[in-house]
Copies of this chain bind each other. A is one copy, B any other.
Amino acid sequence: MQRIGVLTSGGDASGMNSCIRAVVRKAIYHGLEVIGIRRGYSGFIDADMGPMNLSSVADIIGRGGTILHTARSERFMTREGRAMAMENVERFGIQGLVVIGGDGSFTGASIFYQEHGIPVICVPGTIDNDIAGTDYTIGFDTAVNNVVDAINKIRDTATSHERTFVIEVMGRNSGNIALAAGLAGGAESILIPEIPFNVEDICKKLLNGIKRGKLHSVILVAEGAASGLEIGKKIKELTGFDTKVTILGHLQRGGSPTAFDRILAARLGAKAVELLMAGETNKMVGIRAGEIVATDLTEVLGKPSPINKEMYDLARILSI
């Protein structure tokens, strides 16, 4: 192994830059060369790539997003697109590939490996924390802190006006952000796609709270569980409360990564390089029980990543 490629793919996640930095420096430390591939698989196909050195990754450890940019690529889902990418692999002398992204990106990497035999190691970088084989994904901790920060600010208004606030957060298929941020932010109710709910129960809880003197409430809704606007409307109908809705949107992704995400990203990125050097392929690095481990992609792709039911129950108990 003398030269590796690295790319970021899918939705951006804070900490991807720390991971790129780790991949580049770890590789250079061991005498490898690194090709940075821009715009994910799209740039991989279009040869939008070039060599990276120590100073390519200077001062990026604390910056959100990804300096390699990212994109979704329809073409890489086709055999022709992947064949074009393989031409670039040969042209640039790439002998192994690090793919930082989510489930969809890993699927592409795995097919690419199977078709062309080029070793691939995947690194979980997605704010949703919904990938099997790792306890945490890069960007999740930052996203959760972003949401908690927003809850804090909104609660100031909720308290001052004695209002109910519905906050819709990211998570199409996963309630992880809503659950963690709701527990950390003391949300009165948390709605996630993994667990059925009905608005009547939420309203009952709100009314009980009012009876006990609780003057404001925050209800967190994962976008995959329901529409924040609809939940707000229903609560207003059923309780008559002045209910406001905020959809947090894209500000959840960005910002300087937390220390946790930076450290996780550094450890995972370095491990990915080690695995390529050891001749491994078709694996994802992850953190399990505090240890950095590798898992075969066949055990990752399409596998469920269940929410922590203990945390869900705890959030319910603590918000009485």
Binds B, one of A105-113, A144-152, A296-304: A144-152
Contact in complex: A259, B152 (CB < 8 Å): no
Contact in complex: A251, B154 (CB < 8 Å): yes
CA distance A253 to B246 in the complex (A): 12
Q: Which residues of B contact A212 (CB under 8 A)?
A: 54
Q: Which residue of B lies closest to A245 (CB)?
A: B249
Interface of A is mostly: helix
Q: Which residues of B contact A283 (CB under 8 A)?
A: none
* A25-B262 in contact given A135-B290, A160-B70, A246-B251 (Cβ < 8 Å): no
Contact in complex: B246, A250 (CB < 8 Å): yes
Q: Which one of A62, A144, A215 has the greatest number of beta carbons of chain B within 10 Å?
A: A62
10 pairs, A vs B, C-beta closer than 8 Å: A26-B314, A26-B317, A28-B320, A61-B185, A65-B159, A153-B250, A156-B254, A157-B253, A181-B259, A183-B262
The quantity of this chain's copies bound in the complex is 4
Give min CB distance, A129 to chain B, whole Å: 12
Q: Which residues of B contact A39 (CB under 8 A)?
A: 162
Binds B, one of A77-85, A89-97, A114-122, A263-271: A263-271
Q: Which residues of B contact A16 (CB under 8 A)?
A: 160
Q: Which one of A22, A150, A263 has the greatest number of beta carbons of chain B within 10 Å?
A: A263
Q: Which residue of B lies closest to A186 (CB)?
A: B61
Q: Which residues of B contact A207 (CB under 8 A)?
A: none
